[in-house]
Amino acid sequence: MMALIGLQAMATSCGNNNQASEAGKDTLNAPAISSGYDPNFKVDAEAFADIQMLRYQIPGWDELTPKQKEMAYYLYEAALCGRDILYDQKSKYGLTLRKTLEVIYTTYKGDKTTDDWKKFEEYCAQFWFSSGNHHHYGNEKFFPQCSADYFAEILKQSAVDQLPLSANESVDQFWASIKPILYDPKIEPKLVDLRANIDNVKSSSVNFYEGVTQKEVEDFYAKFDASGHAPSWGLNSKTMKENGAVVEKVWKLGGMYSAAIEKIIGWLEKAAAVAENEQQKKSLELLIAFYRTGDLKTFDDYSIAWAQDTASRLDVVNGFIEVYLDPIGKKGSFESVVSMKDMEATKRIAAIAQNAQWFEDNSPLMPEHKKKTVKGITAKAITVIAESGDAAPSTPIGVNLPNADWIRKEYGSKSVSLSNIVHSYNVAGAKSGMLDEFALNDTIIQRAKKYGNLASDLHTDMHECIGHASGQINPGVETTDKTLKNYASCLEEARADLVGLYYAIDPKLVEIGVAPSVEVGKAEYDNYMMNGLITQLTRLKLGDNIEEAHMRNRQLVAKWAFEKGKADKVTEMIKKDGKTYVRINDYDKLRKLFGELLKEIQRIKSEGDFAAGKNLVETYGVKVDQALHKEVLERYAKLGIKPYKGFIQPRLVPVMKDNKITDVKVEYPTSFYKQMIEYGKNYSFLPLKN
């Protein structure tokens, strides 16, 4: 699962897929001083709509051997070759719309200084950022701000021969077919619809299902063997009807997405040939075998081999991983993260992993829900080299994989923190003004300045390393995609967050040398409660409820603790000069409340208690106080900052001699627009309809 960044610190997920992914960190914390980075490197890049683009460095690149750089280049290419897949996974119209935008953007010869053209450009950037026309975080459909008449005009004044027209289709006919996809709010209104008491499959436009109801999907997968070491059935397929029967279209070589998968395989084969060691080579060969066959048991074999590769400096996540884009948590969206170990930053997270059994033994969980033996948690900080698919441009800050509970229990997992991504967030966030606007008093401000970044990093480390790896499902209880359904992702993220929160002020962190004082944990409590109750509301439009799983998780945790501690005034919402703030009066009591909620959410997961899980999420995680929301939006607007952030990717350029790679150079592009056009030109392999 993947951890995402919230407005103030961290947030989220990890091993079942990122998606998501989250977008930005307008941190309340001061920037940490990190070594190995060029202090003159410009982190901020273009801004558009509600998004600020950033750039990240790859410190330590020159420490790699030529062979390691060569391997990294092959993995980078394999990552980008899967880019088309996510566009199609998000919408069956995604590739057609993207190709159309690329043609207009690059070939329109008219006036590009008008307000209408600027509105079109902004729509392109939003579309590329979200890999489709649904908001990358809120899931709602967004629309061009230029008129449909203007859009039709620039379409017809572009290179018509390059447009994705079908045989014998005129430009007018093509425009008539795509106009409602662009402008009609009734067509694909919501990418992922998690509302209660509806058919979440039919109400979601994500292209994982077609012509089937949620009940038909659940009945279809109920026939699969779910006992023991059963694979994650449905992870790599589209479920639809053919001749009245429910079937799967498997994503594999020779199946759905074959043209892109063939390219991915080719680059992975090159990477395997220069692997650092036999274990890394074995895991890559199993990943290749999975792509060739689509066999989910092979994917589990790969996941085990990947988790056991702990010696390699380079690493890669590549495949259908996280399930946040699926309203019922089965289908994995394509993503890839190419990385190398950050040797210095790994020391902190490794210290937490080494004490994983202590954390499990001392957690507030019911005894039967604790793991008797915590196995194989490999924890490290990584330097990202490149990201693609559902990991980019919006990126996680932490990852815990594999996602299968039985693999984590029996073989262990890798828990990583994305150190150079966090560094860029911190640099960009230092001047946001969030701290002065939303922190109650100077005590909170000074604590955040002193400890805020470390507090955020530690919470992320514990969320990924011991949070997702903790607890166990009762014997005979099925996986959460079947038991907790549309609430599974939110509850899992809440569970992992709560593990981190419960231990944030524990003296054990001081004892093992990862925190200088329990004041670090208090900084995280201030941050988390402020984010969950107030500042994350800046990401919503006035009047909206919370839909996204990670935002639901944060409000659920903060609001539950606030409500349950009301009688003792553990936490208060107070007014000062007409503004609302959060004040924590008793950090120890708040910790106990976090422990109680952790115990209950683990029980829900362990027992598969759908009704209790639904009640928690719907009661505490969804509804928004509209008066507070209006106030927060007005305060945030005065800061002049964007609520979401994402990244332009570095470019790897091979140095050739006698048709062999002798070195690989890193370039740092400055334009998101140019990068998207470059990717569209070089990595478009799929047909428009798959």
| 475 and 566 share one domain | yes
pLDDT in tens, 549-605: 899 999 999 999 999 999 999 999 999 999 999 999 999 999 999 999 999 999 999
What amino acid occupies position 63?
Answer: E
Mean pLDDT to the nearest integer, 128-134: 98
Mean pLDDT to the nearest integer, 160-187: 96
| 129 and 157 share one domain | yes
Q: Rounded CA gap, 371 and 366, in Å?
A: 11
Which of 225-234, 396-405, 409-418, 437-446 has the highest mean predicted lDDT (pLDDT)?
437-446
Name the CA radius of gyration of the chain, rounded: 24
Q: Rounded CA gap, 459 and 446, in Å?
A: 19
Is pLDDT above 80 for 135?
Answer: yes
Q: Helix 442-462 to helix 346-354 angle, to the nearest 10 degrees?
A: 70
| 97 and 245 share one domain | no
User: Considering 646, 662, 680, which residue would you say is the last residue of a domain?
Assistant: 646
Res 3: pLDDT = 58
DSSP assignment of 58-113, as one string? -TTGGGS-HHHHHHHHHHHHHHHHTHHHHHHHH-TTHHHHHHHHHHHHHH--S-SS
Determine, yes or no, domain membership for 58: yes
Label residue 17 by pLDDT band (50, 70, 90).
very low
pLDDT in tens, 376-389: 678 888 999 999 99
pLDDT in tens, 503-529: 999 999 999 999 999 999 999 999 999
Question: What average pLDDT does the chain have?
Answer: 92
Determine, yes or no, domain membership for 86: no
Percentage of the chain beyond pLDDT 70 is 94
- pTM score, two decimals? 0.85
Res 11: pLDDT = 32
Determine, yes or no, domain membership for 453: yes
Q: How many domains does one find in the chain?
A: 3
Contact between residue 333 and residue 19 where contact means Cβ atoms under 8 Å apart: yes
Determine, yes or no, domain membership for 447: yes
pLDDT in tens, 242-285: 999 999 999 999 999 999 999 999 999 999 999 999 999 999 99
Determine, yes or no, domain membership for 80: no
| 331 and 428 share one domain | yes
Res 306: pLDDT = 97
Is pLDDT above 60 for 2?
Answer: no
Least confident of 80-89, 289-298, 477-486: 477-486
| 154 and 33 share one domain | no
Determine, yes or no, domain membership for 33: yes
Is pLDDT above 90 for 203?
Answer: yes
Determine, yes or no, domain membership for 686: no
Res 5: pLDDT = 45
- Rounded alpha-carbon distances, angstroms, from residue 610 to 369, 484, 485, 561: 17, 5, 8, 21
Least confident of 110-124, 284-298, 446-460, 605-619: 446-460
| 359 and 496 share one domain | yes
Contact between residue 604 and residue 474 where contact means Cβ atoms under 8 Å apart: no
Contact between residue 491 and residue 617 where contact means Cβ atoms under 8 Å apart: yes
- Rounded alpha-carbon distances, angstroms, from residue 334 to 325, 489, 541: 10, 17, 28
| 469 and 566 share one domain | yes
| 453 and 470 share one domain | yes
Determine, yes or no, domain membership for 429: yes
Percentage of the chain beyond pLDDT 90 is 83
CA-nearest of 275, 281, 338 to 61 is: 338
Cβ within 8 Å of residue 50, ≥6 positions away: 642, 643, 644
Is pLDDT above 60 for 478?
Answer: yes
| 229 and 261 share one domain | no
Q: Which residues of 74-87 are buried (b: 16+ CB within 10 A; e: fewer)?
A: bbbbbbbbbbbbbb
| 166 and 210 share one domain | no
Label residue 349 by pLDDT band (50, 70, 90).
confident
| Six-digit token string for 484 | 């907790």
| 239 and 99 share one domain | no
Res 4: pLDDT = 52
| 238 and 264 share one domain | no
Q: Rounded CA gap, 409 and 471, in Å?
A: 9
Print the domain residue range for 240: 200-250
Residue identified by tokens 């976090």 is 594
Least confident of 71-75, 104-108, 294-298, 401-405: 401-405
